[in-house]
Structure 1
Amino acid sequence: LLGLPSSGVHSNGFSLVRKICFEAMGYTMDTEVPEFGCTLGEKLLTPTRLYPKTCLPLIEKFDLHGMVHITGGGFYDNIPRILPEDCDAEVNAEAWEVPVVFKKLQEWGNVPWAEMYRTFNMGVGMVLVVDPSEADAVRAHLKAEGETFYELGKVVPGHKETIMKGGVFGA
């Protein structure tokens, strides 16, 4: 499982974002957030990253087993949709640095980490399911294109679930 970075919140979980930022914290779109280096509005309205420029050449060149856009439903709802019934996705939550916007939402709203990964993309906007025999070639292609990617984990025998490991999830 290879992950491509998101540009921020995208369109995920804005009901929860609204509740945390505007109701619980009493912020406005003009509130300066030092950790963001910009206003809350500028951070929340960062345009959603689009993935065709990166993914279309991969589809043409390699036999990808699947692609998952991490939208509302996060890791737990989106990844299992493409898994066979007898497989799980093991994701290492330490494989990438969670962007500060998600850390602040979690802190401000005291949202359990599992819920954060269920609601938001947490900095990973697209997951590529790559055959192990082509993984090195896909990595090389992404590197040659200057694309950042994360080694998220692997598909293992299971029951069509996402299993989060590492970081806040333990071993």
Structure 2
Amino acid sequence: MSDQTSLQSDSLNSAGTKKKSASKTSPEAKKKASISYADAGVDITSGDRAKQRIKMLARKTFNKNVLSEIGGFGGLFALDLDKFPNPVLVSSADGVGTKLKVAFELGIHHTVGADLVNHCVNDIAVQGATPLFFLDYLATGALEGNVVETVVQGISEACRANGCALIGGETAQMPGFYQPGEYDLAGTIIGAVNRDQIITGANIQVGDVLLGLPSNGLHTNGYSLARKLLFDVAKYGPEQYVNELKDKTGAALMRTHRSYLGVIKKLTTAGVVSGMAHITGGGITENLPRIIPKGMGALVDLASWTAPPLFEHLQKLGNVDQEEMLRTFNMGIGLIAVIPADKLKKAKAILNRANERHSIIGRITRGERKVSYT
């Protein structure tokens, strides 16, 4: 309810003498400047236009299981019980973190949408799940329709590539909460797996082999430290070419988070994996133990793969301890598949046919549930 106060004033008659105000003021005198939501910083009209464009992008990801349009109070999705006769739903939510700061600096907003989707897809795929649908959340101070559309376009394309539907989300205008030109981005994914096909790591045995699959770079983790080292310590600009990186700083940081869904499906369909770990924040040190059973540990050989130049340069710039590097960054390994020794030959053949680079980086041992390095 608006608060409109009537204003009363004395007036002068034609003779210049004071005339008492009328007991009732005119409608014009009662009027006060109307304040709208746009005056408070929220442009509903602009938001509506952006949402119409988002709807078109989302519809491109729809399949026969999507039963609702974008814009309802909730998205509707029919689970295919022929494909999942004994279904278990698997969910995950995540964000892109301070990688967004680099996106703001460079004005590159397309790839962060793919980063978000691929990160979430990997998190459920390592448990054997197939992605079903995705929901995004984008919050900003003042809505810039072209930026929002670009971000959602990246989300839409990544959803299509991973076979999941973008069935809803939220675009929030929050004036005063974000700096001009900035936004936050998060997403939630829902997938499904048949109960007897869930991969938890419970079947991991001592002697199983660790196969490491390469990352594209930092993916979506460790950016606070990386930005400090590259921009504050080394004083590089985001457009500066750095010989040690063999690339411009910004381009090296903005490489897209890989989706491992395709290769994961090949390995799980062949029944050659006993566990998988998506290497994100916390690196190998903290992510691999999440799937290792009690009474076992992992021994990882750091000489078994070559870390990309970005990681080596970051370590040199900050004189960062190796232990700190390994618990902050993925160090060039984005996914670890735990393979029974008697299935290693088959697993390697599958990866070779898929032209997927891989390295044997260690094995499962007896001991505490932690990673040791050699």
Fold shared, TM-score > 0.5 on shorter chain: yes
Matches within 5 A, 1:58-73: 58-73=267-282
Mapped to 2, the partners of 1:96 and 1:67 lie a distance apart of: 18
Give 1:138's aligned residue.
347
Provide the residue aligned with 1:74 in structure 2.
283
Aligned counterpart, 1:96:
305
Q: Distance in 1 between matches of 2:327 and 2:245?
A: 23
How far, CA to CA, are the matches of 1:28 and 1:85 in structure 2?
47
Q: In terms of mean alpha carbon deviation, does 120-129 or 11-20 score higher?
A: 11-20
Give the Cα–Cα distance (whole angstroms) in 2 for the partners of residues 83 and 126 of structure 1: 15
1:53 aligns with 2:273: no
TM-align CA RMSD: 0.9
Tell whether 2:287 aligns with 1:86: no
The one of 227, 236, 248 equivalent to 1:18 is: 227
Q: How does 1:82-161 map to 2 (within 5 A)?
A: 82-161=291-370
Deviations 1:20-67 (A, max 9, x none): 111112222112101223210001001111101111111111141111
Return the index of the structure with the highest Cα Rg: 2
State the SS of the aligned residue for 1:129: strand
The aligned residue for residue 169 of structure 1 is none
Q: Which string of whole-angstrom CA distances, capped at 9 and with x for unpartnered residues, describes residues 84-137 of structure 1?
A: 110001000011011000000000111111111111111110000011111111
Contact 1:62–1:138 at 8 Å: present in 2 too? no
Q: 1:103 to 1:119 in 2, by over 3 A?
A: same
CA distance in 2: counterparts of 1:121 and 1:150, whole angstroms: 14
Amino acid at match of 1:164: Y
Match of 2:252 among 40, 43, 55: 43
How many positions carry a matched residue from both structures? 165
Structure 1 length normalisation: TM-score? 0.93
Partners in 2 of 1:12 and 1:62 — Cα distance? Answer: 30
Which shifted more, 60-69 or 43-52?
Answer: 60-69
* Inter-partner Cα distance in structure 2 for 1:145 and 1:17: 32
1:45 maps to amino acid: M
| CA positional deviation for 1:18 | 1.4
Q: Is residue 5 from structure 1 mapped to residue 214 from structure 2 by the alignment?
A: yes
Query: Which amino acid in 1 is paired with 2:361?
Result: L
CA distance in 2, matches of 1:63, 1:34: 41
Structure 2 residue identity aligned to 1:25:
A
Amino acid at match of 1:148: R
% identity of equivalent residues = 37
Whether contact under 8 Å (1:4, 1:149) holds in the other structure is yes
Residues in 1 aligned to 2:227 and 2:220: alpha-carbon distance in whole angstroms? 12
Matched residue type, 1:72: G
Where relative contact order (Cα < 8 A, 6+ residues apart) is larger, the structure is: 1
The separation in 2 between residues aligned to 1:163 and 1:149, in whole angstroms, is 20
Distance 1:156 1:92 in 2: 13
Aligned equivalents of 1:140, 1:42: Cα separation in 2:
33
- What's the secondary structure of 2:342's corresponding residue? coil
Report runs of 4+ in structure 1 exceeding 3 Å deviation: none
Q: Distance in 1 between matches of 2:307 and 2:373?
A: 14
User: Larger deviation: 118-127 or 25-34?
Assistant: 25-34
Q: What runs of 5+ residues in structure 1 fail to find an aligned partner?
A: 166-171
| Preserved contact between residue 64 and residue 129 of structure 1 (Cα < 8 Å) | yes
